[in-house]
Amino acid sequence: MKEALNAGPGPQATQRQHDKGKQTAHERIAALLDDDSFVEIEGFRRHQATGFGMEHNRPHGDGVIVGWGTIEGRQVFLYATDFRVFGGSLGEAHAAKIHKVMDLALATGAPLIALNDGAGARIQEGVGGLAGYGGIFQRAVRASGVIPQISVILGPCAGGAVYAPALTDFVFMVRGTAQMFLTGPEVVHAVTGEQITHEELGGAGVHATSSGVATFVSEDERSCLRDVRYLVSLLPSNNHEAPPSASTAGVPEADGERLLDIVPANPRLPYDMVRVIEELVDHGDFLEMHETWASNIICGLARIGGEVAGIIANQPAVLAGVLDIAAAQKAARFVQTCDAFNIPLITLVDVPGFLPGSRQEHDGIIRHGAKLLHAYCAATVPRVQVILRKAYGGAYIVMDSRSIGADLSFAWPINEVAVMGAEGAANIIHRKAIAAAPDPDAERQRHIKEYRSELMHPYYAAERGLVDDVIDPRSTRRVLIRSLAALRRKRMPNVDRKHANPPF
């Protein structure tokens, strides 16, 4: 009987799945979990619906496989929709199985992974399917910030079903086979007249670059599931645990000679901050999130000295590393996720300010920027800031400055911490003197030099206690390892309130 359950509706249905470049639900589970670790529950459950011929079609499992297993020996719970059965659609029995495994994950403090490949609510069962989604949403919110929740989109995910992954911490999508949208192309065309394909409307590329819904995008299912395993290895099982440590054998504490070549001293010249991060983390391994969305800021997980840390960094190679609406949203979400799961934060700063313009102002850069500010101010995990080059204006404050609660702040000798760049400051402060001078350009250069020497020299912020030390760039990795070790036992008391009210 067990073999029949695993086989599903038959070889033809399995072949159709394979022809689309997709694995079956059981094959996906086998690829994700450690060998022979999966324990399935409620495999014999059937729906109880009648009408529309449903009473004559009652397959065991009802289109979803639920249970638990291990990833690198650590327990996880999961559910995987089976597209071969009712198109993976959700009915009452299907939903009840998912509710059961979600409850078990929360009760035992273990990560929950959802492998999605389904057609939404089961139309034949009416409102029962919609109520089933409501139960999933309610449980996802209850588990938010308590256990890691990971969604993997491996096929269609449409209508109200999209809110299940939207409520989780991380969303993986496979290019070419995964789609997410509230209303499909047919409805879009009927209502608006717009002609658009499934891929153009809600494919992995769209959600990786435009909407920001996809945290990670993979080229195929196997690489996607490998990345899920890697992510789980960096996360704690729940909010009462620290992330798992790793051996540092053979990893030097400091070897930052290449940093001198990567980062130009001239603050106007761009460079790739990812290369800096790879020099700072163990083995150069860095799991970047939302890599192609809001690329002017970098967010990701890595190990430094064997310990997991979340890294937020401006990216001078994209828009000079300015903060804009999307960057603020992306970083704020990442800060909150790390804080929820006891992951220390490292902030690498090289920011010229917020992106100016009427579009940004009218679209709400004030409130969106405040989201990042709120996230940092509320974070209680260890927080270390490193200022590489420039840190100007409000963007300096928002990028985890000492004034909003960073535990430690370090700066390279080429740092410039100021209200704005020397050129802009001189033009404002000495506008009249420059205009009246016989040689305005010479007068402007004199005031720029004066402003830089008085208010932007490398030790200006350190002299005022806003930077703890001005460090040799080559020692940055060593400084970070030792700082995180010193802050490891940091504890912050909870504020007596129901919850904060962050900017919308």
Strand pairing class (74-81; 112-116):
parallel
Q: Is the dihedral of CA 376, 377, 378, 379 positive or negative?
A: positive
Of 161, 150, 157, residue with least CA distance to 177 = 157
456/420 Cα distance (integer angstroms)? 10
Of 330, 234, 236, 315, residue with least CA distance to 282 = 234
273/276 Cα distance (integer angstroms)? 5
Residue-by-residue DSSP string for 430-486: THHHHHHSSSHHHHHHHHHHHHHHHHSSTTHHHHTTSSSEE--GGGHHHHHHHHHHH
Q: Running DSSP on this structure, what letter comes out for residue 220?
A: S
3-class DSSP assignment, residue 70: strand
Residues linked to residue 417 through DSSP beta bridges, in sequence order? 391
The two tokens of residue 478 are 């060593």
Give the burial class of 101: count Cβ atoms within 10 A of its Cβ; 0-12 exposed, 13-18 middle, 19 or more buried.
buried
Residues linked to residue 153 through DSSP beta bridges, in sequence order? 116, 173
Which residue is listed with tokens 């198109």?
Answer: 87
Instruction: Show which residues are catalytic.
Output: 159-160, 394-395
349/429 Cα distance (integer angstroms)? 26
86 with 122: CB under 8 angstroms?
A: yes
At residue 299, φ and ψ (nearest 5 deg) are -135, 135
Tell me the residue ranges of DSSP E strands in 122-237. 149-153, 156-158, 170-174, 179-181, 216-218
Give the burial class of 7: count Cβ atoms within 10 A of its Cβ; 0-12 exposed, 13-18 middle, 19 or more buried.
middle
Q: Running DSSP on this structure, what letter comes out for residue 242?
A: P
Tell me the residue ranges of DSSP E strands in 254-397. 286-289, 297-304, 307-314, 345-351, 383-392
- Number of C-alpha atoms within 13 angstroms, CB side, residue 30? 7
Q: Running DSSP on this structure, what letter comes out for residue 62?
A: T
262/43 Cα distance (integer angstroms)? 55
Determine how many CB atoms are found less than 10 A away from the CB of residue 148: 26
